[in-house]
Amino acid sequence: MSYSDYARAFMRQNPDVLMIGEVRDEATTQIALRAAQMGHVVLTTLHTRDAPSAIARLITLGAETSLIASAMLGILSQRLLRRVCTHCAEPDRPDPKVMARLPNIPKDAGFLRGRGCAHCLKSGYRGQVGVFELMHFDDDLRTKSLGGVDVKWADDVTFDRLYDDAIAKAARGVTSLEEVLRVVPLPREAS
């Protein structure tokens, strides 16, 4: 059985919630969207750069923009950042030139970096922390997302970006500024 065969078989059970591990082909995309339109809560994952790009990805998988806009409840994007090692953390003084380019840095920011020790195998990092951005689909976002593949429409949408969550966690010393710059896409105004 293919992935979409399984999804079709599950649909016959009339589930309240359908969890599809990953949408990666046209057949599964169609089933996921049809199920969502019929009132089932569908949870699934996609590999994309950020939350708005999930719309573009679904369109390249053959979904109609209007169907996506009407069926979507929300998109949560996440990435993992390394945590600063608590055994060797020390205050970090980032380059002012770098800081000047970065928006939304909290005023009371206390950046930390790991010096490197036996606990973190000299890397300065130990463990990981998730950073998130959530696009909740209300009427406004439904209309704007009809903009489709060119996700410039997302510039006009207010939501907490991956960058904002990441910079807030770096400002509390959970992760380092260097790690944020390595992993998280910068807001358009900073790049």
- Choose between 126 and 169: whose C-beta lies nearer to Zn ion: 126
Q: Report if residue 162 touches Zn ion, rule: CB under 5 A.
A: no
Burial classification of residue 16, based on how many CB atoms lie within 10 Å of its CB (0-12 exposed, 13-18 middle, 19 or more buried): exposed
Q: CA–CA separation, 101 vs 15, rounded Å? A: 49
The binding track of 74-103 with respect to Zn ion, each residue x by CB under 5 A or -, is -----------x-xx---------------
**Tokens at 97, concatenated:** 């030139």
Shortest Å distance, C-beta 116 to Zn ion: 6
Q: Which of 122, 118, 129 minimizes the C-alpha distance to 169? A: 129
Contact 69, 31 (CB under 8 A): no
Q: Which residue is nearest to Zn ion (CB)?
A: 85
Q: Report if residue 117 touches Zn ion, rule: CB under 5 A.
A: yes
In sequence order, the β-bridge partners of residue 78 are 132
- Choose between 114 and 173: whose C-beta lies nearer to Zn ion: 114
Q: Report if residue 146 touches Zn ion, rule: CB under 5 A.
A: no
List of residues contacting Zn ion (CB under 5 A): 85, 87-88, 114, 117, 119-120
